[in-house]
Amino acid sequence: MLSISLITGCASDPPQLTTPDYKTYPYGYRHQRAYNRPYQVKGVMYYPLLSADGYSEVGIASWYGSESGSKTSMGAHFSPEGVSAAHKTLPLPSKVRVTNLHNGRSIMLVVNDRGPFKHNRIIDLSHGAAKRIGVKSLAKVKIDYLGEAD
């Protein structure tokens, strides 16, 4: 009897990926701005934090700058030489301190965009922010959430 249910269970259609509908999520996304609602990139769902209080993370940072003039997730114009960053799940906008763990240099900046969507990277720094803390390509960093940005 058990083997029959296992066989029929395997014969069902695979689940279909759908566009996220924030209204059906029970986690408080209903009244969030579009850039703070769950979203999907390359088949992966991301759930922005409703609260980042106490958030701290260590991982690999990269920088971006070729997107000059394009818009961030929040709709602001991206300035490569400015001081900003992209993160997959921090609420937008967020103030954070990013510390380069190779040299101890740190910077406070505003996260106003989504990304990076490359394997093993936790934050994308604007080229201006990366230069200030000595990130030339990739670097191990610590991110500390400081609060909501204005």
Q: Using one digit for the tens of pLDDT, what is the confidence trace for 34-64?
A: 899 999 999 999 999 999 999 999 999 999 8
- Whether 14 shows a pLDDT value over 50: the answer reads no
- Summarize the chain as % helix, strand, coil (round to 5): 15, 35, 50
Instruction: Give the CATH superfamily of 50-148.
Output: RlpA-like domain (2.40.40.10)
Partners of 109 in the beta sheet? 96
Residue 78, phi then psi, degrees to nearest 5 = -85, 130
The amino acid sitting at 75 is: G
Contacts of 58 by beta carbon, 8 Å cutoff, 6+ apart? 101, 140, 141, 142, 143
72-122 pLDDT, tens digit per residue, is 999 888 988 999 999 999 999 999 999 999 999 999 999 999 999 998 999
